[in-house]
Each structure stands twice: as C-alpha cells, then as structure tokens.
C-alpha cells in the first residue's frame, strides 16, 4: 500500500476498460501541489490522474532533491571560467539537476572541474595576471629567467660604445606582455604571482614616490631652461589662437631644438629608483641647478688651467673606480689623459662626455652599481656630476 493510502478516498472510481480504478482524491492533489512548491518544481496538470498514477508521481517527487544554491553558483562560475579560456559549454536547466551525493549537479560539477583543469594547463594568462606580472618587470627579486622570460631586447653594436659589449634595452610594456603570453600558461602565471607576491610588494614599497618623480622632472626642466638660451616669439597654435612661446636659439640667433641638451632619466630608469636613490638624485640636480644659476654674493668660480687639470685628474680617478666596479677595463681613463696632455676640440670633448655618461648608466642598468653608489663616487667632482646630469 502506498504512503498516500491514508488519504481518505472520496469513493469515486473510473472505468479504464479493465475494471474500475479510483480517481485521485482532492487531498492527493493538494499534497502534490504543496510538495511541488517545497521542491521548487513546476506543477503538472494532474486533474485526470488516477489515484495510482498520482501516488507514483508523489513518490517520485519526494525522492527528488534539487541542486542546492551553492551547487548552482559553482556550476555557473565554472561555466564562466571555461568561457574565458575559449571553451563554450551550455549547462542543462538548473531545475532539472538533482542535488546531494551522486546527484546530477554533483556529477556536472566534477566534469566542469576536470575540464577547467585540463584546459587551464594550456590557457593563456588572464589580462589581470599579465598586468600584474608586467608591473614586476623591474623587480630584481623575480627570477624571470627561471621561467624562460626575457626582459631585454638585444641591440646592434653601435659606434662609440665599448668594443665587444652587447647593447640592450628593457622591453616596452607591449613587448613584455607578449613575452608573458608566449611563455606562461594561466596556471604557471598564477604560480609565479603567488611565489613572488610578497617580495614584489616589499620592493614596490621602497620605490620612488610620485612626489619625488615629479620633483625630479621639474628640476630637469629648470636645468634645461638655464642651459638653453631662448627668445620670445608670437605663434598661431593648432587651434588658430595667437600665443607667446619661448623658442630656444643658438649663439647666431637661429632657432634650434633643445632635445638631448640635458640628460633626462628615461621613465624606466626613473621607476627603478628607490626613495633613497631619488632623494640623492634630487640633491644632485639641485646642486647642478645652483651651479648654473649662482647667487650674486657667491665667489666667482676659478677656471684656470691648474684647476681644470685637477678636475680632469679627479675624473680620471673616478673612471678607474668605475672600471673596477665593471670588472673590465675601458679606454676612458686614457682618453681623459689625452685630454689633459693634447687637448681636444669641442666635438671630441662632447663625444668623450657622452661615452662616460653611457658607461655610467650601463653600470647601473647591469646592476654593477646602484644609483646611490654612482652618485657617491661622483659627489666631489663637478665634471662627473655635470656628465651624469647633462648630455
């Protein structure tokens, strides 16, 4: 006897050709309707059901356990994750899934997890992962070489550079992002981030503050203004409005471009500075600015031959120290020596200064010396400081 047999029969019956059969009672139908609401199942039309048919439907419904809210949320999340890595999957209607151990919802979740793991091993890093790893580019504590990720672009050897030295530059943001995509899967990217997240956060806390970076740019601009003579001209701008503009000029009165007359740190170089290094560089720029714009009560600078010789010899000593830091010899000390004994014209002097400056920044770039160490070596030499700041 079924569990609904206790429901009082109204005595009605129906002849199906094989004898009389009881019609479902009103109590049965009400019980079925309430059960549908409890289970969250759409109610069927049971107005013509027999007692036996509705009894079987109620038993089936009582055994039915719908997927839980947590299971449904997990399924939707996994489907979205698969979509992001290029696998389109349409789940069945949620109301058709059964919950509990061994239910269809549980089986579907197991399938989705397996598929996500399988495809995730081959999927590209997410945009969020790429952005995070890209910001790690300059952090020395992240061993990108262990992941076969390159940070540098090798350049062709150019004139005026140290013979036999390989020239390079850091990759641009776009180049580095493509390098990450080509070398890491999403799973590997996640492992890299989790492994070095702490070291990267600690390094980033020590980097140059925005206020320091802005101050350095302001000082560089002020030094440029003192180095480059200019004149006032009225011009018509792109919007057709007449405005006044300061135009740099040569000694002969002709306009020229100031580009390259003052050494400005590249954005990547600036971003590499620690707060301590930025502070030391700010002091160096301030000293250079004060030298180019002395107050009226300062004593005039002595520029006799003996002073010039002392400064050049001091510069020669600095270059020997930098050679020792580099671990190899350059010809720069000898060129300074030739400058002392033979004398050079303006172009030759500028070329030597440019070589020295490139050598200085190459040592910083190669981590042979930090920026504070470079500034410390140059702090007692006006020539060295001028070379470090100006091109």
Provide the sign of the torsion angle of the four alpha carbons 112, 114, 115, 119, taken in this order. Answer: positive
Tokens of 309: 């010789």
Q: Is 208 exposed, middle or buried (0-12, 13-18, 19+ CB in 10 A)?
A: buried
CB 132 within 8 A of CB 195: no
Residue 289 has pLDDT above 90, yes or no: no
Residue-level pLDDT at 263: 64
Residue 229 has pLDDT above 70, yes or no: no
Q: How many angstroms separate the CA atoms of 59 and 55, rounded? A: 6
List phi, psi (to 5°) of 153. Answer: -115, 120
Q: How many angstroms separate the CA atoms of 131 and 181, rounded? A: 11
Residue-level pLDDT at 180: 93
Give the range among 10-24, 116-130, 271-285 with minimum mean pLDDT.
10-24
**pTM, entire model:** 0.45
Which run of H or of E encompasses 164? none
Euclidean distance between the first and the last CA atom of the chain, given in angstroms as a whole number: 101
CB 161 within 8 A of CB 167: yes
Q: Is 388 exposed, middle or buried (0-12, 13-18, 19+ CB in 10 A)?
A: buried
Query: Checking phi first, is residue 109 left (phi over 0); if not, alpha (psi -120 to 50) or beta?
Result: alpha
* Band of residue 37 on the pLDDT scale cut at 50, 70, 90: confident
How far from the centroid of its chain's Cα atoms is residue 102's Cα?
Answer: 44
Inter-residue long-range contacts of 293-300, CB under 8 Å, 24+ positions, other chains counted:
293/226
Please name the residue that has the structure tokens 């925005």: 210
CB 336 within 8 A of CB 312: yes
Tokens of 136: 């790690």
Task: Tell me whether strands 13-15 and 20-22 are parallel, antiparallel or unpaired.
Answer: antiparallel
Please name the residue that has the structure tokens 């002020």: 222
Rounded to the nearest 5 degrees, what angle is found at the Cα of 325, between the Cα atoms of 329 and 366? 100
Which residue from 195, 168, 169, 199 is spatially nearest to 184, judged by alpha carbons?
A: 195
Tokens of 357: 């400056």
CB 379 within 8 A of CB 318: no
Angle between helices 127-135 and 173-183 (to 10 degrees): 120
Helix (H, G, I), strand (E, B) or coil at 361: helix
Q: How many angstroms separate the CA atoms of 355 and 335, rounded? A: 10
Instruction: Identify which has the larger pLDDT, 45 or 237.
Output: 45
Tokens of 42: 């759409």
Condensed to tens digits (0 to 9), the pLDDT of residues 90-146 reads: 888 887 787 776 678 888 888 888 888 777 667 788 888 999 999 999 888 999 999
Q: How many angstroms separate the CA atoms of 130 and 172, rounded? A: 14
- Tally the C-alpha atoms within 13 A of residue 187's C-alpha that lie toward its C-beta: 8
How far from the centroid of its chain's Cα atoms is residue 88's Cα?
Answer: 29
Instruction: Identify which has the larger pLDDT, 366 or 19.
Output: 366
Residue-level pLDDT at 133: 94
Residue 247 has pLDDT above 90, yes or no: no
Q: How many angstroms separate the CA atoms of 265 and 242, rounded? A: 33
Q: How many angstroms separate the CA atoms of 370 and 280, rounded? A: 12
Angle between helices 210-227 and 275-292 (to 10 degrees): 20
Mean pLDDT computed over 20-36: 85
Please name the residue that has the structure tokens 């940070």: 151
Residue 24 has pLDDT above 90, yes or no: no
Q: What is the mean pLDDT of the chain?
A: 76
Please name the residue that has the structure tokens 């590997």: 188
Helix (H, G, I), strand (E, B) or coil at 369: coil
Residue-level pLDDT at 18: 46
Helix (H, G, I), strand (E, B) or coil at 104: helix
């Amino acid at each position: 006897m079924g569990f609904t047999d206790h429901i009082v029969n109204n005595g009605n019956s129906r002849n199906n050709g094989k004898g009389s059969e009881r019609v479902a009672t009103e109590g049965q139908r009400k019980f079925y309707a309430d059960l549908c609401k409890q289970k969250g199942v759409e109610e069927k039309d049971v107005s013509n059901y027999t007692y036996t048919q509705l009894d079987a439907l109620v038993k089936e419904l009582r055994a039915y356990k719908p997927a839980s809210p947590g299971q449904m949320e997990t399924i939707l999340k996994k489907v979205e994750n698969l979509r992001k890595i290029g696998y389109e999957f349409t789940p069945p209607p949620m109301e058709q899934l059964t919950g509990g151990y061994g239910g269809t919802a549980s089986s579907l979740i197991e399938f989705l997890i397996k598929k996500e793991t399988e495809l995730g091993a081959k999927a590209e890093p997410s945009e969020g992962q790429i952005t995070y790893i890209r910001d790690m580019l300059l952090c020395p504590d992240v061993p990108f070489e262990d992941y076969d990720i390159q940070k540098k672009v090798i350049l062709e050897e150019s004139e005026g550079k140290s013979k036999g030295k390989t020239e390079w530059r850091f990759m641009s943001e776009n180049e580095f992002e493509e390098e990450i995509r080509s070398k890491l899967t999403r799973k590997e990217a996640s492992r890299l981030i989790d492994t070095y997240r702490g070291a990267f956060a600690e390094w980033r806390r020590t980097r140059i503050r925005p206020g320091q970076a802005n101050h350095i740019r302001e000082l560089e601009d002020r030094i440029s203004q003192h180095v480059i003579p200019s004149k006032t001209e009225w011009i018509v701008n792109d919007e057709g409005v007449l405005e006044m503009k300061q135009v740099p000029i040569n000694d002969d009165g002709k306009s020229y471009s100031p580009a390259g007359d003052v050494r400005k740190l590249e954005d990547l170089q600036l971003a590499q500075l620690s707060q301590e290094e930025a502070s030391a560089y700010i002091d160096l720029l301030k000293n250079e600015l004060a030298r180019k714009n002395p107050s009226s009560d300062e004593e005039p600078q002595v520029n006799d031959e003996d002073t010039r010789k002392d400064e050049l010899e001091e510069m020669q000593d600095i270059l020997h120290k930098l050679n020792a830091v580099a671990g190899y010899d350059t010809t720069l000390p000898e060129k300074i020596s030739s400058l002392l004994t033979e004398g050079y014209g303006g172009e030759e002097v500028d070329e030597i200064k440019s070589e020295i400056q490139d050598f200085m920044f190459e040592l910083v770039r190669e981590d042979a010396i930090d920026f504070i160490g470079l500034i410390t070596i140059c702090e007692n030499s006006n020539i060295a400081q001028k070379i470090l700041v100006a091109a």
